[in-house]
Amino acid sequence: MNPEEFLVSELGSRTIPSPLNLSHTKGDGVYDYIDDAERILYDVSYINLKKNQETGINPISFEKAGPLAKIYFDPSKTKAAIVTCGGLCPGLNDVIRGVVMQLQERYGVENILGIKYGYAGLVPESKLPFIELDSDMVDEIQHKGGSILGSSRGNQDVSVIVNTLERENIHILFCVGGDGTLRGAQAIAEEINKRGLKIAVAGIPKTIDNDINFIRRSFGFETAFSIATDIIRDCHNEAKGYFNGISLIKLMGRDSGFIAAHTALAQQDVNFVLVPEMDFDLDGPNGFIEALRKRLERKNHAVVVVAEGAGQKFFNCETEEKDLSGNILHKDIGLYLRDKITTTFKNQNFPFSLKYIDPSYIIRSAPANANDSMFCNMLAQNAVHAAMAGKTSFVVGYWNSQFTLLPISLAVKERKKIDTESDFWGSVIGTTRQPVKMNAI
């Protein structure tokens, strides 16, 4: 990795004193401004830090997020806009509220627009009106699931979007979304830069799958696996209620299985976790179905959790379909597993009772839990601090228990995935007691 990749762009010199009236002095009991030089180490292991010291190479690090003593935009003249894109996720309204409250109540920005239904709301032909946002309007929206602004998928003409930003005299665009949204934000920022405009683009990471690179945690993820944990508990009861009862639950996780894995660790009644990162076979003496049969013969019930992107090799698709955001549309592994288990066990005259559950959209639409709501607010506050200081084309991250800033280009370079050789996955295997490998050969 190149340390230069971790540098965040700025629109220009910061010359305006911050209206926050914070402190520069440690120990005076007042929250301090951060210093430009403050950074958060990527790797905190002693061995690697010592190696960097010996070689004289600067370690990889992130810019620390937080309030700066001098800002770029004059709050009295600043106009901001907020857009939410992609699939619904717990905490969207919390982030909207956090951005508006911080802009208006702390920085004194009075002109804040809500963009309806994702990037489509910035395209005139969509004929979607802007919403004027203020602290009174957003005061209680955190109690509701979904997004008061609505959302959408799909690419829009970047030139048209920047035309709208320029015409409406918008100085800061807050883009709340996952990989596709952030790629769109990066393209918008590049077009803005090409035109020489002074418009900041700020990303706030929203992905229920927790799969954004260089960000330990994205909002909505904790709520998702917390709700899934309650569902798994009930599914366990359902499985135990029948002889050789099987509860098969499909959870979100298009390319990364973090929700499925965290749910298994939190609710320790799960016996098998199947995720996109692992290779497994269904048939054969060492395959999943034989392992499931042995579990049933031993315990007479089983709980199976599968991430939506697992096992795609079983479909042998020659062509890949994509959704409007450019994501590969995976085939339904949940239904495939349900039918495969049913057919195999019936052919073997093996008695069983299988229940299939897909709670995905219920989870996506739920309001954030307490910890996620707090996290959303802190992400929003740090996004506002950075944007008001003229930072652009950045996303607010979270690394080593600190809020960070990183270029959007770095965040979308590749997806974060479970390392199946890690201690984390080892804990999943230890908790479920499933075979370390389930391959035919």
Residues serving a catalytic function are 209
Q: How far apart are CA 413 and CA 1, in angstroms?
A: 12
Output phi, psi for 234, to 5 deg: -70, -35
Q: How far apart are CA 16 and CA 439, in angstroms?
A: 62
Q: Cα separations (Å) of 2 from 45, 190, 411, 413, 416? A: 18, 21, 14, 13, 18
Which of helix, strand or coil describes residue 200? strand
Element (H, E) at 387: helix 370-388
Task: Give the other-Cβ count within 10 Å of 224's Cβ.
Answer: 29
Give 140's contacts (C-beta < 8 A, 6+ positions apart).
none
Q: How far apart are CA 285 and CA 439, in angstroms?
A: 9
With b meaning 16 or more CB within 10 Å and e meaning fewer, what string describes 124-140? Answer: eeeebebbebeeebbee
